[in-house]
Structure 1
Amino acid sequence: MMDAPFPIRKIIHVDMDAFYASVAQMDFPELQGKAIAVGGGGTRGVVSAASYEARKFGVKSAMSGKLAIKLCPELIFVKTDFERYKEISNQIRKIFYDYTDLVEPLSLDEAYLDVTENKIGLPSASLIAKKIRQRINDEVGLTASAGISINKFIAKVASDYNKPNGQKTVNPEEVLEFLEALDIRKFYGVGKITAEKMYQLGIFTGNDLKSKPLAYLEEHFGKSGRFYYDVVRGIHHSEVKPNRIRKSLAAERTFSENLSSEIFMIEKLEHIAEEVSKRLLKSKVAGKTVTLKIKYSDFTLQTRSKTLPYFVSDKNVLLETAKDLLYQEKLNNSVRLLGISLSNLNTDSKVSKAKDAVSVQLKFEF
């Protein structure tokens, strides 16, 4: 039984398997079957991606190269090649468009597809996902995983279920049971810190989450409380948007040496603010919320934000706001990375909240 007066969609989330690493292994056959890390070389490098062979040793993205090589002494570092990734990504997207025009890329290696009505007239979204994955393998030479369900949230969660090179369909009548049994760490949108907080509150599974009233979740998780309350009930109204509206624009820099004084950071922030301003002007957008991102030498991350009463794109305003945020409180440690982002853009559109559903029995071919 599933709550849903809103249109039931057939959504596929396609996620390439270890994309950057797989591209390197495809282009350099001598790397196939070996533990490799994309990026991460040098004394201060950070791993961008790891092959499945490397992941078995605990190597993962955002990890320092120093730690990665300690975990896997035979690890091979390869350079990033974003032009090549973009080339391959475009090939994959062309395959998507053979089935539907409702394609929403999330990054170079993943996308949502709405195949409720599709170009080949096939009623089964599961079969379409299988065909797409097979074509990617035959025509591009890489493997992909897919999740198939009634909305983007569940499809995203499901795509990780049978990785690598697999797919998972969550039919309408299976949605609630699937979500109730799911480990809370598997919920898309629940990060490490939030998961730890949920554990402290006795929330370990979707069923535990579902048992909490909306007021309780909003009390402990703020605005995200409503999101958690809805998704665990299979409610997620976001449509696949072929032309995604940019929600934020940012730039950041990792330093060759850690910075311990705010004075030395101001010069770096000036260059970052200039880069953000250039991108804003190029995109013809402005925003109200400035966020300063600080990554410390121990890899802990902190963000500080300020919302202005007007839209801005000027470098000097961005810089002065970032400086205010920098001096807002004492730094926890020396700093290895600074970033500035601008959100609450003038491209944002207000989405009306959907009404709660009534209980209906869904019969839908997946």
Structure 2
Amino acid sequence: MEIPGLLLAKSHPDAAAAEHCSNIQYRPKLIGHDRTPAMQRWPRIVLHADMDAFYASVEQLDNPELRGKPVLVAPNSWRGVVLTASYEARRFKVGSAMPVAEARRRCPEAIMVEPRFERYAAISKQMVEIFGDFSPQVETLSLDEAFIDMTGAEGLFGTPAEMGHALKCRVLEATGLNISVGASATKYVAKVASAYDKPNGLTVVPAAKAKAWLAPQPINQLWGVGAKTTTKLHAIGLMTIGDIAGASPDWLAEHLGSAGRHYYELSHARDPRKVTRSRSTKSMGSDRTLSEDVTKRDAILEHLRRNAERIARRMRAKDYVARAVRVRLKTTDFELLSRQRTLAQPVDTADALMEAVTPLLDAFDHRGPYRLVGMVAFDLSWSKDPAQPATAQLDLFESIRVRKPATRREREAPAARNRLTRSASQSVKEGTRRDLEATIDELATRFGSDVLISATDLERKHTVMKNGINLNFRDGECVSRPRKPQKKGDSGSSANKETEHGS
């Protein structure tokens, strides 16, 4: 379907010579008449930049022997999942989050490469600095993608197509890697556009043409529509974004709830969200892929305890507290189940997290076995923020450090006073726990994470996947490298990966 005013541009394959980036030849596919007047009338100009097969591309960049070959960045274990597949591997229908065993079955020639998160983070930082040279309004979504608000920058960088071209060249020159760029008047359309012509693509969708361009695209291109929702939408006869746009908002709301109206707005290319310069962390979590499936409650709690310790340590390092917690269990059929609850007051200790999640196990109907155990602390806020809600005021008692037993007057006080005293005593208990865990944090920082081991860990059977990936995430971005592989014969525990993901 030809959409007047749509511009697609593709770099030649030999454009990898970064020093000649300014001479890169583009093959624009121009549809319709001159685009310049329409582009000048855009209400906003939003670019979405997305690195192509980021982890795998970095590995191919650093190791020329991997170039042109199918590469899977994943833990070296059949029980792990693929983090990134190179485009050579994707031809075999291999993709991210696919079990390694299935990926190897589909692509037996694939080369397995273990991730190097510090390297990826370094390139990501370099990329974001480049984006900052184009605009002060940069919203990072993860290590490999970001929104850039270019509104009003036509005088400096030209048309949106020229902006995208310049951005691609700068990233290639600095990193040796290609990115795909989408440009439009809204964040949603720009994001869809960046994926439209991957890899190494540039797609520009003028505001006036966005609705028509979206219409023939599959329904799963709507932001927030996953596999389950796609099946549900197909069941009610909605196959394309245009089908959503042509439906009644009331009918959509009847069948899909509040999400129906949201999809309707997106299908009309309406997305009022601004590019926000800073994104606060909304969650911290840790998922553990196991070498042996678990079923028993005690075994699940062992892994949740380790998750809680990691999450709490990272929250304290960032001065965060959490007001809600979630448990994630993945079955051997790769079905991901979750249960969550809000907390009476914000917490940042492993003990408090465990007290909150232990009752949640009773809410799972599935009996297992499970191959992954995870925990997420969310609804985070800065513990030192003076503008915290009143529910956080109970933390005042943490600094009181009540040491003496209650006096007779206190024991005979009215019921309300007794409740207050109990709250204070509980807060003192939490304060003591926090002091202990904070001390362990300092020891781990100075002497390594294994300097102290919990007594309950001494007799535990190690069931975490050896040399695997323990997904410690903070809203989406990788911030540290995994541990070095252990020597043969050592008891296995998972390697660590920390990420930040946007939501």
Superposition TM-score tier, normalisation by shorter sequence: 0.7 to 0.9
Contact 2:323 2:379 in 1 (8 A): yes
Which residue matches 2:446? none
Q: Which amino acid aligns with 2:350?
A: K
| CA–CA distance in structure 1, aligned partners of residues 257 and 344 of structure 2 | 22
Which residue matches 2:141? 106
Residue among 234, 240, 245 paired with 1:210: 245
| CA–CA distance in structure 2, aligned partners of residues 325 and 213 of structure 1 | 39
Residue among 328, 343, 353 paired with 2:378: 343
Alpha carbon RMSD of aligned pairs, Å?
2.1
Q: What TM-score comes out, normalization by structure 1 length? A: 0.88
**Percent of paired sites with the same residue:** 37
Structure 1 pair 325/213, CA: closer, same or farther in 2 (3 Å)?
farther
Q: Which amino acid aligns with 1:65?
A: V
State how many pairs are aligned: 343
| CA–CA distance in structure 1, aligned partners of residues 351 and 236 of structure 2 | 44
Structure 1 pair 298/78, CA: closer, same or farther in 2 (3 Å)?
same
Q: Which amino acid aligns with 1:270?
A: R
Structure 1 position 193 matched with structure 2 position 228:
yes
Which residue matches 1:26? 61
| CA–CA distance in structure 2, aligned partners of residues 311 and 203 of structure 1 | 43
Structure 1 position 301 matched with structure 2 position 370:
no
| CA–CA distance in structure 1, aligned partners of residues 296 and 80 of structure 2 | 22
Contact 2:325 2:357 in 1 (8 A): yes
**Shift of residue 40, structure 1, vs aligned partner:** 4.1
**Shift of residue 67, structure 1, vs aligned partner:** 1.3
Structure 1 position 91 matched with structure 2 position 126:
yes
Matches within 5 A, 1:121-200: 121-200=156-235
Q: Would you tell me which structure has more helix in proportion to its own residues?
A: 2
Residue among 304, 316, 338 paired with 1:281: 316
1:153-201 Cα distance to aligned partner (Å, 9 max, x none): 1111111000001111110110111222221112222111111111111
Which residue matches 2:468? none
Partner of 2:190, secondary structure, is: helix
Q: What TM-score comes out, normalization by structure 2 length? A: 0.65
Partner of 1:237, secondary structure, is: coil
Matches within 5 A, 1:306-345: 306-345=341-380
Matches within 5 A, 1:213-252: 213-252=248-287
Partner of 1:240, secondary structure, is: coil
Which residue matches 2:104? 69
| CA–CA distance in structure 2, aligned partners of residues 13 and 41 of structure 1 | 33
| CA–CA distance in structure 1, aligned partners of residues 290 and 192 of structure 2 | 35
Contact 1:99 1:119 in 2 (8 A): no
Contact 2:71 2:86 in 1 (8 A): yes
Structure 1 position 14 matched with structure 2 position 49:
yes
Structure 1 pair 332/225, CA: closer, same or farther in 2 (3 Å)?
farther
1:281-329 Cα distance to aligned partner (Å, 9 max, x none): 2222333332111111221111212233443333233212222221213
Contact 2:75 2:115 in 1 (8 A): no
Contact 2:294 2:368 in 1 (8 A): no
Partner of 1:188, secondary structure, is: coil
Residue among 249, 257, 267 paired with 2:302: 267
Bigger mean CA offset, 115-124 vs 29-38 = 115-124
Partner of 1:317, secondary structure, is: helix
| CA–CA distance in structure 2, aligned partners of residues 31 and 200 of structure 1 | 43
Partner of 1:98, secondary structure, is: helix
| CA–CA distance in structure 1, aligned partners of residues 375 and 192 of structure 2 | 30
1:193-227 Cα distance to aligned partner (Å, 9 max, x none): 11111111111111211233334333433343332
Which residue matches 1:258? 293
Which structure exhibits the higher relative contact order, with contacts defined as CA atoms closer than 8 Å and separated by 6 or more residues? 1
Gaps of 5+ in 1: 1-6, 350-366
State the structure with more CA Rg.
2
Residue among 114, 127, 140 paired with 1:79: 114
**Shift of residue 334, structure 1, vs aligned partner:** 1.1
**Shift of residue 49, structure 1, vs aligned partner:** 0.5
Gaps of 5+ in 2: 1-41, 388-503
Partner of 1:264, secondary structure, is: helix
Contact 2:49 2:180 in 1 (8 A): yes
